[in-house]
A and B are shown apart, each in its own frame.
Chain A
């Protein structure tokens, strides 16, 4: 007995037979304003579809009185998750007089069994939602960027030869100019000769190297104008199944656009910056290359490159820049005797824009380097001029606290493990994320081994170490109740930190030497410490947080508004992102409970 339009998602995924069952099997119910339709903890017996009225979804686990996390109106569906999970996580209350269709849980489960797409629609997990979002973004920003580019930005100069010139002449010219095609005029008519044309002429048609180009050229050209959109050129290539188009201005050839050039048009920038870093022969050149990193990030994000890969690329570039700077400042002999490590988010390869310098130095045990302090101070200053601000906690090589021999580091780790106070735990955490970027990289392995030996089997220490994941509450309750724009969710404390630290703790216990949270998650799943599902969800949640945070930071930079970008104003997010954020925060919340049980943090 459903009067609703069943032609919309998710019902459009059902066949006629299933729709008939649905029409026949649904109950109808009336709820008064304020009436609880489905309470938190209730067994999910029905899926609700709203015919009239509005229903709000409240999170009761919130300490604050009412935390509205969702509002459903005509045509919306809720309670499906409760049926699938067995019970409801939230309280659903009629916000006004509401008439709902109730699809019995048994019927709903049967429909899910009968139709995989229908079931998938509901079981759509975080990873898939995230993909949807990326697609949405790609469809928006990238296509916009792509469509705005003009043909003239991406064309090569044409290589013009005479119709009487030979194939041999053409090959010479092509090699010299590193081109793939030549243009020829024959009696005022423009033709093109590609490498393939010449190959076919010689091999298949038996012509010799002296054959005239005019005879092998193709005169049916696909052409574009220089001020046309690059996108149009790509469409023409696709339509005519050719790999290049000729650019004509008032009938005269001014260039050629090659398919590979179009495709690499957007990804070329990362390549260019990387090249500049490698080529830099002095600090000034390095500083110039380094200054282009934020622009690169923005370009990559606009292309819809997955944040994780953008972070990897950026970590690699930052590592190269610091390593180069280290090479400029520190004498070669000393470089071989020491190991420069970066720590914190840089060590994990998870910084997105430039972060503070978090670094330290490990010296080989037998090294005596008495005048190192001025050299290391100069290195820190150099990084500063390259655009890496100093670390507020002073975790830097110009601080003797963070420069030790291998034996010295072992002793400090032992002391931290013994002290077990907050500061020591933090230092252990910092050290766990250390990543070697210059000098003798094996020195870090020795220190890390000492760290694992000291901590990975000490249950009490691990429990103490894990405890700080409970330090900041997950900001699930704040949805809907924020009003002023300066208020917001601290995505770093509430989302990123618990994941990073929890994964770090598990990695410590499992002696996993990777520092990236993503790689740690993969290894944890591979070794069975975490379920594959949880590891994937955590990875996706982590990407989402980082992405939201990055967008905010980029936005602030564009607005010329410096400062911390980790406060996220939920109301400003589009609803899909809001939903995803909520799901991701749930993943965090579940993970914290998992850690609580595992490390006995309840007490």
Chain B
């Protein structure tokens, strides 16, 4: 409820601004598979390390023309997270500032729907940085791939308790995990899960 009100307010405030197009209803049939690597799992404190956005068009994941951003070393880059995404401080020395990264991201995704595994987390982390700088949050529609999978499973195998972990879904849909824990790799894998579910008839038309 609160979200809806916020969005309405954002739209009202920015409907005439530089980012007005973000608030328009999306008419096409593309989606953006989004994945962020962060310094932690708490959306209130996690800092962005890298962001990848892979467009999905027809039956293809356009990983070749994906957005793949690395950010400048955030304060919270610690040993724990380095072990997961393998980005050391030195790898991030020539990264973008959060500000520039968000501009690039907004330009790239436009008003296309965002697709992800636990997409709410990624959107929440981005929004935390977006609101203080731009005055609004991502207005894009979101598609949760694990929810699509759950719905598909409930229809085809009602007795099975779904395993909604990323690896489990990939395995069940026989999608290869391309580069686990790289933003672009995970985003592409997510895109493939989505394509697979679409073929299986588990995705309603995106319009």
Q: Assess the A30–B195 pair: CB atoms within 8 A.
A: yes
Q: Counting CB contacts under 8 A, is A141 at the interface?
A: no
- Shortest Cβ distance from A55 into chain B, in angstroms? 14
Q: Which single residue of chain B is at the shortest CB-CB distance from A106?
A: B64
Q: Counting CB contacts under 8 A, is B44 at the interface?
A: no
Q: Counting CB contacts under 8 A, is B199 at the interface?
A: yes
Q: Kindly list chain B residues whose C-beta atoms are within 8 Å of the C-beta of A29.
A: 59-61, 195
- Shortest Cβ distance from A474 into chain B, in angstroms? 34
Q: Kindly list chain A residues whose C-beta atoms are within 8 Å of the C-beta of B178.
A: 1, 3, 28
Q: Assess the B63–A1 pair: CB atoms within 8 A.
A: yes
Q: Kindly list chain B residues whose C-beta atoms are within 8 Å of the C-beta of A24.
A: 64
Q: Which single residue of chain B is at the shortest CB-CB distance from A26?
A: B64
Q: Assess the A1–B59 pair: CB atoms within 8 A.
A: no
Q: Counting CB contacts under 8 A, is B151 at the interface?
A: no
Q: Counting CB contacts under 8 A, is B11 at the interface?
A: no
What is the 8 Å Cβ interface bit string for chain B, positions 54-74, against chain A (1 contact, 0 not)?
000001111111100000000
**CB within 8 A of A30: which of B62, B66, B184, B192?**
B192
What is the 8 Å Cβ interface bit string for chain A, positions 29-61, against chain B (1 contact, 0 not)?
111100100000000000000011000000000
Among B61, B63, B176, B188, the most chain A Cβ lie within 10 Å of the Cβ of B63
Q: Kindly list chain A residues whose C-beta atoms are within 8 Å of the C-beta of B184.
A: 1
Q: A99 to B179: give the CA distance in the assembly, Å.
A: 16
Q: Counting CB contacts under 8 A, is B85 at the interface?
A: no
**CB within 8 A of A104: which of B64, B174, B176, B188?**
B64
- Shortest Cβ distance from A493 into chain B, in angstroms? 43
Q: Counting CB contacts under 8 A, is A19 at the interface?
A: no
Q: Kindly list chain A residues whose C-beta atoms are within 8 Å of the C-beta of B191.
A: 28
Q: A99 to B61: give the CA distance in the assembly, Å.
A: 11
Q: Kindly list chain B residues whose C-beta atoms are within 8 Å of the C-beta of A32.
A: 199
Q: A591 to B155: give the CA distance in the assembly, Å.
A: 57
Q: Assess the B64–A107 pair: CB atoms within 8 A.
A: yes
Instruction: Count A interface residues, CB 8 Å.
Output: 20
What is the 8 Å Cβ interface bit string for chain B, positions 12-37, against chain A (1 contact, 0 not)?
00000000000000000000000000
From known contacts A52-B174, A102-B60, infer whether A28 and B192 are also in contact, taking CB-CB under 8 Å. yes
Q: Assess the A27–B179 pair: CB atoms within 8 A.
A: no
Q: Kindly list chain A residues whose C-beta atoms are within 8 Å of the C-beta of B162.
A: none
Q: Counting CB contacts under 8 A, is B185 at the interface?
A: yes
Q: Counting CB contacts under 8 A, is B196 at the interface?
A: yes
Q: Assess the A25–B64 pair: CB atoms within 8 A.
A: yes
**CB within 8 A of B179: which of A1, A26, A31?**
A1
Q: A30 to B192: give the CA distance in the assembly, Å.
A: 7
Q: A52 to B188: give the CA distance in the assembly, Å.
A: 16
Q: Assess the A30–B185 pair: CB atoms within 8 A.
A: no
Q: A299 to B205: give the CA distance in the assembly, Å.
A: 68
Q: Kindly list chain A residues whose C-beta atoms are within 8 Å of the C-beta of B63.
A: 1, 26-28
From known contacts A28-B192, A31-B59, A99-B192, infer whether A1 and B176 are also in contact, taking CB-CB under 8 Å. no
Q: A1 to B191: give the CA distance in the assembly, Å.
A: 12
Q: Assess the A30–B196 pair: CB atoms within 8 A.
A: yes
**CB within 8 A of A99: which of B62, B64, B65, B176?**
B176
From known contacts A3-B178, A24-B64, infer whether A30 and B188 are also in contact, taking CB-CB under 8 Å. no
- Shortest Cβ distance from A44 into chain B, in angstroms? 15
From known contacts A28-B188, A32-B199, infer whether A1 and B64 are also in contact, taking CB-CB under 8 Å. yes
- Shortest Cβ distance from B198 into chain A, in angstroms? 8
Q: Which single residue of chain A is at the shortest CB-CB distance from B188?
A: A1
What is the 8 Å Cβ interface bit string for chain B, positions 163-181, against chain A (1 contact, 0 not)?
0000000000011101100
- Shortest Cβ distance from B96 into chain A, in angstroms? 18
Q: Kindly list chain A residues whose C-beta atoms are within 8 Å of the C-beta of B61.
A: 1, 27-29
Restricting to B90-105, which residues have a CB under 8 Å from any CB of A? none
Q: A479 to B119: give the CA distance in the assembly, Å.
A: 50
What is the 8 Å Cβ interface bit string for chain A, positions 1-31, against chain B (1 contact, 0 not)?
1010000000000000000000011111111
**CB within 8 A of B64: which of A3, A30, A51, A102?**
A102
Q: A3 to B199: give the CA distance in the assembly, Å.
A: 23
Q: Assess the A51–B59 pair: CB atoms within 8 A.
A: no
What is the 8 Å Cβ interface bit string for chain A, positions 103-126, against chain B (1 contact, 0 not)?
110010000000000000000000
- Shortest Cβ distance from B11 into chain A, in angstroms? 33
Q: Assess the B64–A27 pair: CB atoms within 8 A.
A: yes
**CB within 8 A of A3: which of B59, B60, B176, B196?**
B176
17 residue pairs bridging A and B, Cβ less than 8 Å apart: A1-B66, A1-B178, A1-B184, A3-B176, A24-B64, A25-B64, A27-B65, A28-B61, A28-B63, A28-B191, A30-B192, A32-B199, A51-B176, A52-B176, A97-B199, A99-B192, A103-B64
Q: Told that A26-B63, A28-B191, A103-B64 touch, could you supply 18 new A-B pairs with CB distance under 8 A?
A: A1-B64, A1-B178, A1-B185, A3-B176, A26-B64, A27-B60, A27-B61, A27-B63, A28-B60, A28-B61, A28-B63, A28-B178, A29-B59, A29-B61, A30-B196, A30-B199, A52-B174, A102-B60
Q: Which residues of B contact A (CB under 8 A)?
A: 59-66, 174-176, 178-179, 184-185, 188, 191-192, 195-196, 199
The 8 closest A-B pairs by CB, nearest first: A1-B63, A29-B60, A25-B64, A30-B195, A28-B61, A27-B64, A32-B199, A27-B62
Q: Which residues of A contact B (CB under 8 A)?
A: 1, 3, 24-32, 35, 51-52, 97, 99, 102-104, 107
